[in-house]
Amino acid sequence: MKLYSTNNKNLRVSFKEAVFNSMPQDKGLYMPVEIPHLDADFIKNIENFSLPEIAYKVASTLLKDEIPADDLKALIDDAINFEAPAVKLDDKTFVLELFHGPSLAFKDFGARFMSRVMSYFLKDGEQLLDVLVATSGDTGGAVALGFLGVPNTRVTILYPEGKVSPIQELQLTTNGQNIRAIEVKGTFDDCQALVKQAFADDELNANFRLTSANSINISRLIPQTFYYFNTYAQLKRQGLNDVIFSVPSGNFGNIGAGLLAYKLGLPVKQFIAATNINDTVPRFLETGVYETKPSTQTYSNAMDVGAPSNWIRIMDLFDEDVESLKKVVTSYRFNDEETLAGIKEIDEQFDYVACPHTAIAYLAIEKFRQENPEDESAAVFLSTAHACKFPDIFPVDIAAKIEIPEQVTALESKPQHADQLGIDFEGFKNYLLNKA
Ligand SMILES: *Cc1c(COP(=O)(O)O)cnc(C)c1O
């Protein structure tokens, strides 16, 4: 697979280069030059394949020239070692649970696959890869747990003191091995500034092979296509062939992967991009004007994004043609009050506890059905995180129903460790140089 930049379609880089650069110099995003169709026979018989088998088929269609078959198979079996069940709520409504990985969020698919791809490309005696991440909570957990124990890599995570939830702190500080957690006496922005300055520092770059492993990395997008294909297989097994997906969206990586799956040949009737009041994309689809805004805090805080970083990938997939995009993608926004009402409605109707992000995707399906009463497709809304990660949002009677998964309870008995640093760059730099 060769890739170009969305800012320069004549550029050609290898998949390995794109993975380690994350972003082209011209600040565009990497996109595949060719998006081959999966063979029609495979799609026709997809219900006979398991998630790892489907993942391998999709990945090899894109990456067969970059990673030999046996290595790719092993990499996928190691990375995608948890389930993604489409749970039936009624005859035509399903919730796709993407939170059965180690950090209880869909970002595990991307982080685990990316870490193993990086490690694979580093195996022939290349320099250790140092991943630096600033986190306000969720991304850090997925990256830490995604890289935990992965050879040739080391992760340093900076998080703001007192600003991450107890579960998130457990996920950041109980790892040991190749993961270091640093509690910064400052805000998330301070953490991010330290990391940015480190990437620009000559001495650090001379000593270490630094990467950000961030969410626009192409190796995070590819594994997120797997569960769209796998969901289609699950529905086909139940005799359902027409499917729409509703995706709770912030940076639009998740739905971007769904649309990549569509371009790879997955038959999907409609995608719904569901957002909170950070509604740059729904506004764009209504007005034709793309206007980013500073983000506003909401209950669905992983979607508090005013300038969605993956949107240019989606425009690129549709050759910048908004009309053809609008035939496939609908978008709705919901505020916090509606989100809470959605959580209660899902609980009452289906006795199911959905996290706030998930509830927004559910509300979007209801709205789509109101506007399109003739549409009889099965509707799947993506559940991007386990409800236990957002304990403060729920009314007490619903909170009482949330079961804490064993991935979390297993961490509670482990010793926690974080190094403490201030917000001065010299302190952080000395830490990196001297604690190697
Ligand atoms: C990251 C995240 C999202 C948003 O996903 P994007 O790919 O950024 O659109 C939604 N829900 C949860 C729980 C998340 O962690």
For ligand 1, the distance from its centroid to the CA atom of residue 40, given in whole angstroms, is 31
pLDDT band at residue 166 using 50, 70 and 90 as cut-offs: confident
Please tell me which residue in 92, 107, 367, 389 is annotated as part of the active site: 107
Residue 66: other Cβ atoms inside 10 A: 19
Task: Report percent pLDDT > 70 for the chain.
Answer: 100
This prediction has a pTM of 0.95
Q: Would you list the domain boundaries of the chain? A: 54-105+219-399
For ligand 1, the distance from its centroid to the CA atom of residue 106, given in whole angstroms, is 8
pLDDT band at residue 189 using 50, 70 and 90 as cut-offs: confident
For ligand 1, the distance from its centroid to the CA atom of residue 168, given in whole angstroms, is 15
Q: Listing from the earlier edge strand, what are the strands of the sheet with 2-5?
A: 8-14, 2-5, 30-32
Q: Ligand 1: does its nearest atom lie under 6 Å from the Cβ of 303?
A: yes
Question: Are the C-beta atoms of residues 226 and 79 closer than 8 Å to each other?
Answer: no
pLDDT at residue number 368: 98
Nearest atom in ligand 1 to 224's CA: 7
Task: Report percent pLDDT > 90 for the chain.
Answer: 87
Active site residue 107: yes
pLDDT band at residue 391 using 50, 70 and 90 as cut-offs: confident
For residues 334 and 342, give the distance between their C-alpha atoms in angstroms, rounded to a whole number. 10
Nearest atom in ligand 1 to 251's CA: 8
Interval 169-174 mean pLDDT:
94
Q: Ligand 1: does its nearest atom lie under 6 Å from the Cβ of 140?
A: no
Specify the DSSP class assigned to residue 303.
Answer: G
pLDDT at residue number 123: 84
For residues 110 and 172, give the distance between their C-alpha atoms in angstroms, rounded to a whole number. 18
For residues 351 and 78, give the distance between their C-alpha atoms in angstroms, rounded to a whole number. 34
pLDDT at residue number 126: 84
Condensed to tens digits (0 to 9), the pLDDT of residues 346-385 reads 999 999 999 999 999 999 999 999 999 999 999 999 999 9
Q: Ligand 1: does its nearest atom lie under 6 Å from the Cβ of 248?
A: yes
Question: Are the C-beta atoms of residues 195 and 212 closer than 8 Å to each other?
Answer: yes
Q: Ligand 1: does its nearest atom lie under 6 Å from the Cβ of 55?
A: no
Closest by CA to 38, choosing from 281, 228, 291, 253, is 228
Query: Alpha carbon of 186 to those of 136, 275, 302: distances in Å?
Result: 11, 29, 20
Nearest atom in ligand 1 to 142's CA: 15
Q: Ligand 1: does its nearest atom lie under 6 Å from the Cβ of 385?
A: yes
pLDDT at residue number 435: 85
Examine the pLDDT at 273 and tell me if it is beyond 90.
yes
For ligand 1, the distance from its centroid to the CA atom of residue 105, given in whole angstroms, is 8
Question: 160: which residues sit within 8 A by CB, 6+ positions away?
Answer: 136, 183, 184, 186, 187, 188, 190, 191
Condensed to tens digits (0 to 9), the pLDDT of residues 111-160 reads 999 999 999 999 877 899 999 999 877 788 999 999 999 999 999 999 99
Give the domain 54-105+219-399 fold: Rossmann fold (3.40.50)
Instruction: Compute the mean pLDDT over every residue in the chain, rounded to the nearest whole number.
Output: 95
Give the residue carrying structure tokens 């703001």. Answer: 160
Nearest atom in ligand 1 to 389's CA: 13
Which of 114, 245, 358, 384 to mutate for ligand 1's pocket (most ligand atoms within 8 Å of CB)? 384
Nearest atom in ligand 1 to 256's CA: 7
For residues 414 and 411, give the distance between their C-alpha atoms in angstroms, rounded to a whole number. 5
Q: Ligand 1: does its nearest atom lie under 6 Å from the Cβ of 104?
A: no
pLDDT at residue number 364: 98
Q: Ligand 1: does its nearest atom lie under 6 Å from the Cβ of 379?
A: no
Interval 79-102 mean pLDDT:
97
Condensed to tens digits (0 to 9), the pLDDT of residues 210-241 reads 998 877 899 999 999 999 999 999 999 999 99
For ligand 1, the distance from its centroid to the CA atom of residue 418, given in whole angstroms, is 26
Closest C-alpha to ligand 1, atom 8:
251
- Cβ-count burial of 392 within 10 angstroms (0-12 exposed, 13-18 middle, 19+ buried)? exposed
Q: Ligand 1: does its nearest atom lie under 6 Å from the Cβ of 250?
A: yes
Q: Ligand 1: does its nearest atom lie under 6 Å from the Cβ of 389?
A: no
